[in-house]
Amino acid sequence: MASKRGALIVLEGVDRAGKTTQCKKLVQALLENGRPAEMMRFPDRSTTIGQLISAYLEKKSDLEDHTVHLLFSANRWELVPVMKKKLEQGITLVVDRYAFSGVAFTSAKPGFSLDWCMKPDEGLPKPDLVMFLQLNPAEAALRGQFGTERYETSAFQKAVHERFEQLMKDSSVNWKVIDASQNTEGVHNDIRTHILNVFNEAQNTPLGELWR
């Protein structure tokens, strides 16, 4: 009998919503419960493509907007074989940002439609669950000043948030909204209630294709 696949769980949200904190906590909790799990993050700055993206985000280089969008997508596609292998091995992947960030950030720039932005990521492994960590800008500001990377301004983050709201209307994706203004444990507990059903579903259904 084929082994049961792992679940693909994505955490999304605006800047400082706590995605990285919660991805780490979730992986730790899953491991403690005896469930094989690993964290991934996008962009993955360790690859050759990821290094181009990293230099762009750090404002060490400039890239044309369509080009950088395609690089972010390519950075996901280059990791698809690794993701599929791990999922087939029964490892659950907890992913810090995915194609939804790709679409939300580029489509917040002038002249980009959601449709155009979604195309390059069509067919990626479809997450079994996407949790959006909801945090308003005033609460995010309490968590510290913006850093120095590209996109870290309040006007741009507001536009990104609006694009996420549009993406969340798509019922083909299993979205859950989490109140990220709670303390770290409170957010973690909410996340854990949402993942209860995901494993059964993942084990009984093949991995889907995003936006297809």
When asked if residue 86 is in the footprint of ligand Z5A (CB under 6 A), the reply is: no
Does 163 engage in binding with ligand Z5A (CB under 6 A)? no
One of 9, 37, 57, 118 touching ligand Z5A (CB under 6 A) = 57
Pick the closer one to ligand Z5A by CB: 91 or 156: 156
Is residue 125 within 8 A of residue 212, CB to CB? The reply is no
b/e sequence 63-77, b meaning 16+ C-beta within 10 Å: eeeeebbbbbbbbbe
Contact between 125 and ligand Z5A by CB under 6 A: the answer reads no
Tokens of 172: 């083909």
Nearer to ligand Z5A, 133 or 202 (CB): 133
Interface size with ligand Z5A, residues (CB under 6 A): 23
Residue in this structure with the two tokens 């750090």, named with its chain if needed:
58
* Piece of the chain touching ligand Z5A by CB under 6 A; list 9-17, 31-39, 112-120, 201-209: 9-17
Q: Could you say whether residue 38 binds ligand Z5A (CB under 6 A)?
A: no
Q: What distance in Å separates the CA atoms of residue 31 and residue 87, rounded to the nearest whole number?
A: 15
Assigned token pair, 179: 């109140």
Q: How far is the CB of 20 from ligand Z5A (least distance, A)?
A: 3
Which of 199, 197, 160, 123 is CA-nearest to residue 17?
160
Residue selected from 105, 132, 175, 199 as contacting ligand Z5A according to rule CB under 6 A: 105
Q: How far is the CB of 204 from ligand Z5A (least distance, A)?
A: 29
Alpha helices in the chain (DSSP H): 19-32, 48-57, 65-77, 80-88, 99-107, 114-118, 137-141, 154-167, 184-195, 198-204
140 neighbors 14 (Cβ within 8 angstroms) = yes
Residue 158 within binding range of ligand Z5A, rule CB under 6 A: no
Q: Which two tokens stand for residue 75?
A: 């950075």
| Binding test (CB under 6 A) with ligand Z5A, winner from 7, 9, 10, 17 | 17
Q: Which stretch binds ligand Z5A (CB under 6 A): 81-89, 144-152, 170-178, 203-211?
A: 144-152
Distances (CA, A) of 121 to 114, 136, 177, 205, 212: 12, 27, 22, 21, 10
- The answer to whether 178 contacts ligand Z5A (rule: CB under 6 A) is no
Q: Note the residues at the interface with ligand Z5A (CB under 6 A).
A: 13, 15-21, 42-43, 57, 72, 97, 101-102, 105, 143-144, 151-152, 183-184, 187
